[in-house]
Structure 1
């Protein structure tokens, strides 16, 4: 559980039209995400290697270059992920400096001049500039230290407390959001799909849903391969996969039950316009109007910051494990070297959010889907014999279910991923030739 659930899901859902996106996303998670996570699990546990070493061991020397795609994906995502994590830390600390209502009062004049909510002006102020740069530095430094300490002493201890805290806070806020006047429109937007809209916009909804599913499930970036390489043969991979998919999707859904009622209760009827700042705008408005909102805000932003850090260290572990396994570098040196390169790549994001879109769309619309696609081809068609055997360990004889899983990977899932990759590439080309080209024209 991390920023994919609580930060990215609400704003991508808003951009996708609410319930229409939610339906496509849930279908993609169930029909593609769950079988795909099992593929990454069996590859990781069977080889006990990082993505590069794992694919090379299974498919031969040429596949190490495909494994390298996973490493590059982790690099790209973590570079801006740490910037977003820094935003949550900053909002957490701002709660100690003043109440959230007090902060918004300081932005009222600028908001009136711009014709935007004060919370949106506050986000624009806090999300870029020197402050964003410093907090990006902080997140990457913490990630490097935790990874250098190792799996059990670092990662496991860092994330154990945050899961129940997130569930408790989000659940309480969802109950509170239900009581807000005007929240009903938010539920209708989020939970009442128009299937005509889905059929009309499937070409944009499919790559967005795929990118979100892979992002939040950490698929196509080598995280699940790396973590599965540490698992024993007595573990039930299907049970682990079901637990991850269930909790991960549930947390994202719960975040939507908070954000969209708050949006509509606050008069924001076009959630897609909130972009990357959607969760910050909605939650800051909420905490400004709540009794005890200052304390709740501190708890919320602090808890999400911990969740964000947990995801950041997951991504850094992938690239660190590659250097340790393939180059024989000591863990602390690998963590420091890889972390520094990732940190430098993320610096431009701290000064203009166009670079977040540039990296995010490339990683989620292209790299994640491509990585998943080639892995499905490798396991489904080139080395299928080991997969069912590996999956059965810790479970027992899978019977017809094992073959059904392999054939799902071989045909329908690969077809869906090919179509999704094509749509993702065309969407990214549109972004480059329109939005990014326009930004270059205005700023250079």
Structure 2
């Protein structure tokens, strides 16, 4: 096994974890899921899911990673529970699965940066999306985006991931704040804010069964849970780090960026009169409608480049974390340098992502399966292990570097044991029902 790297600084770990969380999950999935699941009603369920399920589950993954200082698969063997290695394997597989189509969307973003600079989509936003979202062009763009991700991960933890995210994360926050300030001047701003921030209690109750699995799934996706990322990243952390404070900083920053994304996207959509409440057209509609907005507002080319530039930075910061999980496993178990491992795994990802690049219906299917099956199963299994198998050893690990949590450690443990597990079981049941038992679920509807 190769010598294992560590983060050079504690802020390096926090920024890398924030970079993983603040990705397409915030800037693409969050606005899309909000639009297709009741607007502000979805936002309320999402915020509750982040606080009651996402944050405790993140700390569970932190504990598992730092206590073992190995990858997500071997962590269970290190703790003397080799039979649980399948849980780590599921997490790595989930991250690999997601990254395969994530690269395709990253390729779309590259094309939209170029399209913004040239004004290529202004005359026909829907036609432009159709031309870049599937087919040979999408395959090439996917390969370019993946090459960028592989290059950063191949450089290592300190020289690659840590240095990149120290630049990426502050850039995302600064640019999103600037975009939100600009969007506030648009004529559709008030209507956009109302759709995004004013929930209808009746709609929340009536649609709770449909909204909850997507809200919890969004919390997992945007916090990078269930994909072996937080286990892997925390495995490079020293014993004196305060995992609770670090996790809190990650959750708060990630949530703020998600809110900023909504404050940018929905005023643009309402300015051009887009019908956001129906969510028609799938996730591609977000690209189409946002592009149409930039085509009609002053300085649209400039702001289009800035907006999609921010999305690209966020996409890269998350993609490198997803690739790192697979690289970490291989690096811990085989005497092969990471600058060989990263490209080799990248080729496998490219091949798995080809169906999504050639037909957006496949991308829809990959994304739905990840949200409603892989992610809940992976987080559930990890929560059961940390809460009921590791138990009070997990509390002891969490207390390291905090100066003592008092009764807070026991509260966290029982939250993982009961609240997190129950919420995920409910989410999994609702998600499976939505996917496989409800007629016309739209499983293969293209964007």
Question: Are the structure 2 counterparts of residues 196 and 211 from structure 1 closer, same or farther at C-alpha, using a change threshold of 3 Å?
Answer: same
Deviations 1:338-365 (A, max 9, x none): 2211111111111211111111111111
Name 1:3's counterpart in structure 2: 24
Shift of 1:60: 1.4
The 5 A counterparts of 1:303-318 are 303-318=310-325
Name 1:77's counterpart in structure 2: 98
Name 2:234's counterpart in structure 1: 228
Q: Which moved more, 1:278-287 or 1:375-384?
A: 278-287
Matched, 1:56 2:77: yes
The 5 A counterparts of 1:264-275 are 264-271=270-277, 272-275=279-282
CA distance in 2: counterparts of 1:226 and 1:42, whole angstroms: 11
Partner secondary structure for residue 160 of structure 1 = helix
Contact 2:361 2:445 in 1 (8 A): no
TM-score, structure 2 normalization: 0.91
CA distance in 1: counterparts of 2:215 and 2:136, whole angstroms: 33
Matched, 1:124 2:130: yes
Q: Among residues 38, 41, 51, which one is paired with 1:17 in the alignment?
A: 38
The 5 A counterparts of 1:177-216 are 177-216=183-222
Deviations 1:275-319 (A, max 9, x none): 212442343233223333222222221232122111111000001
Partner secondary structure for residue 218 of structure 1 = coil
Shift of 1:5: 0.7
CA distance in 1: counterparts of 2:183 and 2:68, whole angstroms: 47
Name 2:371's counterpart in structure 1: 364
Shift of 1:430: 4.5
Partner secondary structure for residue 122 of structure 2 = helix
CA distance in 2: counterparts of 1:301 and 1:275, whole angstroms: 19
Question: Are the structure 2 counterparts of residues 183 and 299 from structure 1 closer, same or farther at C-alpha, using a change threshold of 3 Å?
Answer: closer
Matched, 1:338 2:373: no
The 5 A counterparts of 1:129-148 are 129-148=135-154
Q: Among residues 146, 150, 154, which one is paired with 2:156 in the alignment?
A: 150
The 5 A counterparts of 1:226-305 are 226-271=232-277, 272-305=279-312
Shift of 1:264: 1.4
Shift of 1:380: 0.8
Shift of 1:384: 0.9
Matched, 1:320 2:355: no
Contact 1:215 1:364 in 2 (8 A): yes
CA distance in 1: counterparts of 2:298 and 2:189, whole angstroms: 18
Partner secondary structure for residue 403 of structure 1 = helix
Contact 2:154 2:339 in 1 (8 A): yes
TM-score, structure 1 normalization: 0.91
Higher helix share: 1
Contact 2:240 2:400 in 1 (8 A): yes
Shift of 1:232: 0.8
Shift of 1:431: 7.5
Structure 1 residues not aligned, in runs of 5+: 108-118, 440-444
Question: Are the structure 2 counterparts of residues 352 and 66 from structure 1 closer, same or farther at C-alpha, using a change threshold of 3 Å?
Answer: same
Shift of 1:59: 5.2
Contact 1:182 1:265 in 2 (8 A): yes
CA distance in 1: counterparts of 2:445 and 2:346, whole angstroms: 32
Contact 1:10 1:259 in 2 (8 A): yes
Cα RMSD for the two superposed structures: 1.8
Contact 1:259 1:282 in 2 (8 A): no
Question: Are the structure 2 counterparts of residues 134 and 88 from structure 1 closer, same or farther at C-alpha, using a change threshold of 3 Å?
Answer: same
Number of positions where the alignment pairs a residue of Structure 1 with one of Structure 2: 424
Q: Among residues 119, 122, 142, which one is paired with 1:104 in the alignment?
A: 122
Structure 2 residues not aligned, in runs of 5+: 1-21
Matched, 1:422 2:442: no
CA distance in 2: counterparts of 1:160 and 1:189, whole angstroms: 34
Q: Which moved more, 1:396-405 or 1:162-171?
A: 162-171
Name 2:11's counterpart in structure 1: none
Partner secondary structure for residue 82 of structure 2 = coil
Contact 2:364 2:444 in 1 (8 A): no
Deviations 1:353-390 (A, max 9, x none): 11111111111111111111111111111111221111
Name 2:19's counterpart in structure 1: none
